[in-house]
Structure formats: C-alpha cells, structure tokens
Structure 1
C-alpha cells in the first residue's frame, strides 16, 4: 500500500482529497495545508476538512522524516523545499493551472487571454527543484470562447485540475504513469518555456485611444472579486468590464 502526503488548502484541493485521493488503496499519512482567509472562497477548506476527519496536518520537516511514496499537490501556495521533494520515493505530482511548458508560473488564465490564445488548459506534472519545470504526466485543454474572461477560465481550470488528477491517479499509484520531460516537448515543436508572475500583469491601464484594440485585456481582468482593467480620465479610474448585448435599437 502506497504511503501518501497531500499538499493543498483551497476548496478545489479539499474536493480532490476527499473524492479522489482518499478513494484509492493508499495510506494517507497527512496533509500540508493552511487555513483559508478569503472573501470569495466559500467551499470547505482542506484545513477544516482535516480537522473534522482527524487527518494529521504536517510540517515540511515532518513530511521529510516520513519518507513517503507519493505526494499530490493541488493549487498549493507554498514552495516545497528540495529536500522534501526528494524524500518521496515516486515524487510529488502537481496540478498546474496552465499548459506546460508554455505557461509556467502564475496567472496563466489571465495571460492566455492577453496573449490571444485559442485554448487554455492545465498540466499534471512532477514537482522538481525548479518552478513548473518537472516532467509532464498529462495535459487537459479547453477552447477559449469569445465569452471567456480571466475568472471563467479560472473556474474552468478548477474542473480541469479535478479531471486530470482523477483520470491519472490510478496509474500514478500503480507507478505506470506517463512521464515526458518538458525539454522533449519544447524540441518537438512547442514554444520555449515562459514563466509568468504577478509582475507580468501590470497591463490593467488602457489608454482611451487603445480601447478598441484592448478587448483581450478587459476580458483577462474581468472578475467579480478583483480590480478589473481601467482607463483614466482626469486622474480618475474608469473600470472596464465585459458585457455582451445587442447594439440594435428596439
């Protein structure tokens, strides 16, 4: 029986832990997670789920001492130390909210819209000492529609992360999963790996003269929970949100 540690805190991670990971023939040693402090995440957190079900909440040092077989990470918000990564016999498998190697880092949903991509997706991959550079297990994609915003792509990515883990977890537990080095994907025709960070998102301000050509930026930053794109008029921000309707007179 494989000895497993789970990494993740948000509601999506709790769903994956409860519905996918614990359904396997494994021994769950414990979870690395944090309490969720958020005004818009309403689903039960991993931390709360662990407390209710007497699942040990572990520190990195405790994980290393356990020498587990497999780790599963779902939208975990902390960098796992190298010594912890390599304490796992089969490795740690992460669900990343972007298509690798093209979209490493964070805010890939927003950058996909800014870059006028035709599709968006998530990647199940091995965690290594570099950020999002580990070998790929599987990629799951969807088409980007004209109605998509940064927020709708994020919500789609949650379902994709759930699906890609569910579809591959049995092979991982059996140690029969695919493993493709990202360098092989780059050499086979993909673009070079690009890393996106919060600093890449300083594109919210749109000049009035560029509004017509900036719809992708408006869509990318449209969210009910975060500041949207804006233009400035006489030093004041005019927020720009997506709203589709007919311009025909009734």
Structure 2
C-alpha cells in the first residue's frame, strides 16, 4: 500500500515512524520551513527532519489549493493519505484522490474539541479523560466518520506537555491499527453526533491572561493546560509574569483583593487570592528572566505580600 504522509510537528513523528516501518511511504508533505527564534537559521519541521533521515521525498507547498499541488499528488498516486497535525485544510479535490481515502489523527475524543488546541482544551476544561480519534477527513473541519479511538485518564499531575506526549504515542498505535483495518477492507465508520460537537479556536494572547476572579481549580486547570505552551500569564506594574505552575491552597483569605498576594509560604511560594480561595505560585517566569520555582521567587523578593496582579 502506497501511503502519502502529511504532518509537521513532533506530535506527528511517532505516527510517521510507525507507518514507515511497515509500509511504503512515497512522500511527506509538511509546512514550509521557518527561521528559528533569532531569525537567522532556518529550522526544519520535525516531519521533514525524519523524512530526510529516512530518504523519504519531502514536499512543502505553500498551498494545497493550487492546480500544481493537485497534479503533484495525483502523479504520486497514493492509495491512502495520512494526515497528522499538518496545519493546513485539505481541499475536497485532494480528499477524493486516493482510492482508500484520507485519514487524520485528531487528539481528542470526537466530536468534543474539534479544531485547534484540543489537548490544551481538555485540561483547561477539567476533563477526567481524553484521547485520540482516527477518522476519515471530510470537508467540514474534524467532522468525518471515526474509525478508532484511544483513551487516557487525565490526572492532576498532567500538564499540556505530559498529556501531549502520551497522546502522541497512543495516536501512533491506533493509527497503525486503523491502517491495517483499511488495508483489509474492515475499517468501521462511526458517524459523529454533530449536535454534540464543541470547537476550539487558536489561542490569542488575551486568552492566556489569568482571570483571578476564577476559582482556584479553574486557574489550576488553565495554567497546566497552557504549560509550556502557549503559557498563562499575569501582569504586575506593566511587566509580564508567565505562570507555569500553581497549587490549589484550599484556604480563604478575608483580607486583600482578588489577584493580590495575600500570604507567603516558606519553601513553597507566594499565595494569590482567587474568586473562591487562593493558589500558590509554584513556577513563575518574570519578564526577561529565567523560570523560577515559587521558593526562589519568594527568596529573591521578586514578588511580595501586597503586590496585586492585573
């Protein structure tokens, strides 16, 4: 079976690898290379790096909607196209090209959290479980029939990074299982209940700012759901403090305002008043400084009782 792979970030690489070990991967489509953070050296996408290391042809079209790209895929003549976090919408003309269809690995239990950032969303919304869905791609975003799903529980120790890495491996295992079913002509197609669909849009900067009027649990979930990316933040004296870790304090303070540092706990950090209680800041990155533990923030007198975030 001739498979064309489409993907871009780290999340896609285990899927790429597991298929490459068992099938004929005729090419890899990935997003155009971008300069690194300092804007000097071009940084390859993780999928491109894997493809080059394994002598797989790489294609990086600016658009999938051109006649040139359509003809390229038609000439490659894949039996199946596999998409994993590619980052581009697949047009109808390409969806209809491969005889066995085009499938996608989506990191949520569809129809919940269609669209961007489903891993972040599961944590931010306090879900107790999430998973991956292997589905056929349809014209409507993440609305195709589901072949298989894989689930995992979400614990209080999970952050975006830990959950991302776990789902990355589950996705690869379930993808291989789905491809084998497709190869045998035995792949199920479960229609999604579209009335239950929820959607996640890409994060804007304002979405990442902590609202201290929320409950301590809501703030805890928001912070871990954005750790390490895109990272929650708060403001103090026009300076940005990125917050990577908080701990629920389960203590109410009568004094002070919401968003104010109302206490300090030796060896742990500063305590911020929330809408229903308080949280301890356990990992903080002050503007233009390195990431610090709550204890280091306290010991360095970087934040102190009476400071009020806005």
Q: TM-score range by the shorter chain?
A: 0.7 to 0.9
Structure 2: which 5+ runs fail to align? 38-42, 62-68, 250-264, 268-310
Q: TM-score, normalised on structure 2? A: 0.66
The residue aligned with 1:21 is: 19
Aligned residue pairs: how many?
A: 237
Preserved CA contact (<8 Å) 2:31 2:45: no
Q: Do the aligned residues in 2 keep the contact of 1:11 with 1:43 (CA within 8 Å)?
A: no
Taking structure 1 as reference, are residues 209 and 45 closer, same or farther at Cα in structure 2, changes over 3 Å only?
closer
Tell me by how many angstroms 1:52 deviates: 4.0
- C-alpha offsets along residues 175-219 of structure 1, whole Å, 9 cap, x if unaligned? 211111113xx5xxxx61112111578432224444634211122
**Corresponding position of 2:51:** 50
Secondary structure of the residue aligned to 2:208 is coil
Alignment deviations for residues 97-140 of structure 1 (CA, whole Å, 9 cap, x no partner): 11100110011111112211111111100111111011001111
CA distance in 2, matches of 1:140, 1:164: 7
What is the TM-score of this pair, normalised by structure 1?
0.81
The alignment yields a C-alpha RMSD, in angstroms, of: 3.0
Higher helix share: 1
1:107 lines up with 2:117 in the alignment: yes
Q: Deviations over 1:54-94 (max 9, x none)?
A: 43334632113444321111221222221011011111111
Give the match for residue 220 of structure 1.
225
Change (3 A) 1:142 1:86: same
Q: Distance in 2 between matches of 1:199 and 1:48?
A: 27
Of 63, 80, 84, which residue of structure 2 is paired with 1:70? 80
Cα contact 2:220–2:247 (8 A) shared by 1: no
Matched position secondary structure for 2:120: helix
Question: Gaps (5+ residues) in structure 1?
Answer: none
Is contact 1:203–1:217 with CA below 8 Å preserved after alignment? no
Q: 1:12/1:117 Cα in 2 relative to 1: closer, same or farther (>3 Å)?
A: closer
Sort the Cα spacing of 1:201 and 1:108 in 2 relative to 1 into closer, same or farther, 3 A.
farther
1: CA distance between counterparts of 2:27 and 2:231? 38
- 1:224-235 equivalences under 5 Å are 226-235=229-238
**Bigger RCO (CA 8 Å, 6+ sep):** 1
Structure of greater Rg: 2
State the secondary structure of the residue aligned to 2:245. coil
Aligned to 1:130: 140
> 1:1-250 maps to which residues of 2 (within 5 A)?
2-18=1-17, 20-24=18-22, 26-34=23-31, 37=34, 45-58=46-59, 60-61=69-70, 62-183=72-193, 192-199=196-203, 202-210=206-214, 212-213=216-217, 214-223=219-228, 226-242=229-245
**Residues 147/80 of structure 1: CA separation in 2 closer, same or farther (3 Å cut):** same
Q: Distance in 1 between matches of 2:175 and 2:225?
A: 26
Larger proportion of strand: 2
